[in-house]
A and B are shown apart, each in its own frame.
Chain A
């Protein structure tokens, strides 16, 4: 089955700096890669996703890049703010319309004011 590795497990950055979280996956058939943000006491919230026919996607301060050859994808947060502090999970799914997600272990991001 699919295996998703996520690094780092914890990340501390100064407010205003950038944060990068990286994930690798094992199954070359995976083609949907969402990122979720989970704040304390809440469920995961989808923040951005990318599909295998796209190499990069941006949404304001958040971007995701995908390298299908190397089987890795990354989340980039620029101009970090204290409210970005949360646990971030990457995930992978097989096939268009396949909703079964395999998650990475998560990255706890702390943005220091």
Chain B
């Protein structure tokens, strides 16, 4: 199995600012993903974090708003840029290992 740690676990952010979320996996996972979960909703895939190259974004998500880095097989960051109250969500990192997908505990962001 894989253990996925995220930082910060929770934060309150001012409108217009940016925040970077870090994701660390204890194993060299094949793939890493970032999801968003709005309050009371399901999980929506933001992007696939590709090692050493630009992330692959899903429809409705763009690099300028959600820049992603993945410098190695165990670490990735997601930045939420120029935040607005609509960005208040849980942001979840996930990793694929041995045909199984694991999730971190999430980063709970509130934008005020």
Interface residues of A (CB under 8 A from B): 32, 34, 36, 41-46, 49, 51, 89, 93, 96-97, 99-106
Contact between B45 and A43, CB atoms less than 8 A apart: no
User: Is the pair A43, B99 in contact by a Cβ cutoff of 8 Å?
Assistant: no
Instruction: Determine the residue in chain A with the shortest Cβ distance to B45.
Output: A100
When distances are taken between beta carbons in the complex, the residues of chain A under 8 Å from B109 are: none
A12 CA to B30 CA in the complex, in Å? 38
Nearest residue (CB) in A for B43 is: A103
Which residues does chain A contribute within 8 Å of B103, judged by CB atoms? 36, 43-46
| A44–B92 touching, CB < 8 Å | yes
Decide if B30 touches A104 in the complex (CB within 8 Å).
Answer: no
Are B100 and A43 in contact, with the CB atoms below 8 A?
Answer: no
Residues of B within 8 A of A (CB): 4, 30-31, 33, 41-45, 48, 92, 94, 96, 99-106, 108
Which of B44, B92, B96 is A99 in contact with, Cβ under 8 Å? B96
- Within 8 Å by CB of B100, from A49, A103, A105, lies A49
A49 to B102, CA, bound (A): 12
Distance of B26 from chain A, by nearest CB (Å): 15
B42 adjacent to A43 (CB under 8 Å): no
Decide: A46 and B101 in contact? CB cutoff 8 A: yes
Sample (6) of A-B pairs whose CB atoms are under 8 Å apart: A34-B100, A43-B103, A46-B100, A49-B100, A100-B45, A104-B42
5 tightest Cβ-Cβ pairs between the two chains A and B: A99-B96, A43-B105, A43-B103, A43-B106, A44-B103
Please determine whether A96 and B99 come into contact, CB atoms closer than 8 angstroms: yes
Are B33 and A89 in touch, CB under 8 angstroms?
no
Contact among B45, B104, B106, B108 with A101 in the assembled complex (CB-CB below 8 Å): B45
